[in-house]
Amino acid sequence: MPLGTDYAGQDCSVARALEVVGERWTLLIVRDLFYGIRRYNDLRKHIGLPPATLTDRLTSLIAHGVVARVAGEGARDEYELTPKGVSLWPVIYGLSQWGGANYVEDDKRMRYTHRSDGGLIRPDGICPGCGEIPEPTDIVIQKRSTADTDPISVALREPHRLLEPLRR
Amino acid sequence: MPLGTDYAGQDCSVARALEVVGERWTLLIVRDLFYGIRRYNDLRKHIGLPPATLTDRLTSLIAHGVVARVAGEGARDEYELTPKGVSLWPVIYGLSQWGGANYVEDDKRMRYTHRSDGGLIRPDGICPGCGEIPEPTDIVIQKRSTADTDPISVALREPHRLLEPLRR
DNA sequence: GTATGCGCTTCAATCATTGAACTTGCAAGC
DNA sequence: GCTTGCAAGTTCAATGATTGAAGCGCATAC
């Protein structure tokens, strides 16, 4: 049976969340949408998953109200996070901090800064300057690893705000 | 190829994290270990997954240093989170808040309070009384849903500290 | 010594995922 | 108006993981 219909705990919030975003690839898609990647082929190339799987995951995310398909510049549709999707930010950030602390060298980790005051956001999500937890739209990211050379990874080395469409 | 060996982004912290904890069931096992469930059959019954899968996931978590197998009371071994596993708490809490806010009724959500001052921990993880983000060992949980009637779910309705072994 | 429960392992059947190939629809170039 | 090219998928057979049922060895309880 597919994950997405059968995690046991009916009233467990963690299980309910994982029913929606717990399948393989799903959280990487959400991550990329935070990064401003919005087009089908950009997602596919950046994440490196088979098109059938990408279509399946996007369909599921749209059905659950996490992602919306919207008209983009030009005739192409794009995918973007709904407010419900944006509220997944603490989960993505938590995974990023844990994965970074344990598996990525310091100088290759993504840098997260608070747009209003330039503060380097701490692992617990708080901006040391203002003491607040910034909203995703107030967070500026910069990819510092140079391991990947595809156009999207290269574009992510420029600082830009979360959720702001990545233009190339 | 198995998830656990092949998420594309080599230097992406989120992808690296999901290589370790992104497989189906894995985060539910981690959640249960935070809840104090420590024995094989308790995990199996509470989560409702096939034994072969539970063995597989535990082996993988141990190999990655997230879980340790330790001697329990009596002759039985138990499973417990390592410090690296405990540092996954923000991820579990984030999923819990998102799943709770979107899919579980108010009065059925798990209650998280700060042990030192009794404050009801906010969705962002901060205790409103002291303004701090409590460590997992300082968090008291109480399951409020009565939907499940298995012994473990019943035991979780008593307030108890995270990571404290659940005795029946 | 017999039964029960725990902590697994084994196995065939099912189900999801994969990668390659193919299709469709639009848009610009010739 | 024909072709070329690309974006955005769909289709399909092969592979691989997951499932549920059954079984097994050990330990304690009766």
Q: Which residues pair with A141 in a beta bridge?
A: A112, A160
Q: Which residues of B touch A98 (CB under 8 A)?
A: 13, 17, 87-88, 90-91
Instruction: Give me the mean pLDDT over the B27-54 stretch.
Output: 95
Residue with the larger pLDDT of the pair A6 and B62: B62
Tokens of B110: 């798990």
| pLDDT bracket for residue A6 (50, 70, 90) | low
Query: Which of B1, B5, B14, B150 to mutate to probe the A interface, most A CBs <10 Å?
Result: B14
The answer to whether residue A158 scores a pLDDT higher than 90 is yes
pLDDT: is A24 or A2 the higher one?
A: A24
pLDDT at B3 (0 to 100): 43
∠ CA B59-B84-A89, rounded to 5°: 105
A contacts of B28 (beta carbons < 8 Å) = 7, 9, 14-15, 18
> Do the Cβ atoms of A13 and B96 come within 8 Å?
yes
What confidence score (pLDDT) does residue A68 get?
Answer: 96
**D8 C1' to A34 CA distance, Å:** 21
- State residue A89's pLDDT score: 98
Write down the pLDDT at residue A168: 65
Nucleotides of D under 7 A from a protein CB: 7-12, 16-22, 27-28
Model confidence at B150, in pLDDT bands (50, 70, 90)? Answer: confident
Predicted local distance difference test score (pLDDT) of residue A8? 55
Lowest mean pLDDT segment, chosen from A35-39, A72-76, A84-88, B77-81: A72-76
pLDDT of residue A4: 44
- The answer to whether B90 contacts A98, with C-beta atoms less than 8 Å apart, is yes
Interface test with B, best of A12, A31, A57 (most B CBs within 10 A): A12
CA-CA-CA-CA torsion for B54, B57, B63, B66, nearest 10 degrees? -100
Q: Which one of B47, B97, B102 has the shortest CB-CB distance to A8?
A: B47
- pLDDT value at position A75? 77
B71 sits in which H/E element: strand B67-71
Tens of pLDDT, residue by residue over B69-102, are 999 877 789 999 999 999 999 999 999 999 999 9
Rounded Cα–Cα distance for residues A78 and A126 (Å): 31
Asked whether the beta carbons of residue A24 and residue B22 sit closer than 8 angstroms, the reply is yes
By CB atoms closer than 10 A (0-12, 13-18, 19+), residue B54 is: middle
Is A14's Cβ below 8 Å from some Cβ in B? yes
CA of A50 and C1' of C4: distance in angstroms? Answer: 49
pLDDT of residue B160: 94
Measured in angstroms, what separates residue A47's CA from nucleotide C21's C1'? 21
Q: How many CA atoms lie less than 13 Å away from B3 in the CB half-sphere?
A: 20
Pairing state of beta strands B160-161 and B139-142? Answer: antiparallel
Taking the C1' atom of C14, which residue's CA lies nearest?
A1
A contact residues 61-80, partner B, Cβ 8 Å cutoff: none
Q: Give the pLDDT band (50/70/90) at residue A102.
A: very high
Q: Which domains can be identified in chain B, with CATH numbers?
A: 13-85 (1.10.10.10), 88-161 (no CATH)
Judge: A94–B98 Cβ closer than 8 Å, yes or no: no
Whether the CB-CB separation of A29 and A54 falls below 8 Å is answered with yes
A10 at B interface, C-beta within 8 A: yes
Chain B CB contacts of A47 below 8 Å: 8-9
pLDDT band at B33 (very low <50, low <70, confident <90, very high): very high
Percent of chain A beyond pLDDT 70?
93
- Does residue B8 have a pLDDT over 60? no
Q: How far is B129 from chain A (nearest CA, A)?
A: 16
* CB nearest to B14's CB, from A12, A19, A28: A28
Over residues B55-63, the mean pLDDT reads: 96
Taking the CA atoms of residue A79, residue A116, residue B131 and residue B35 in that order, the dihedral angle to the nearest 10 degrees is 20
Digit-coded pLDDT (tens) for A8-60: 556 799 999 999 999 999 999 999 999 999 999 999 999 999 999 999 999 99
- Name residue B142's beta-bridge partners: B111
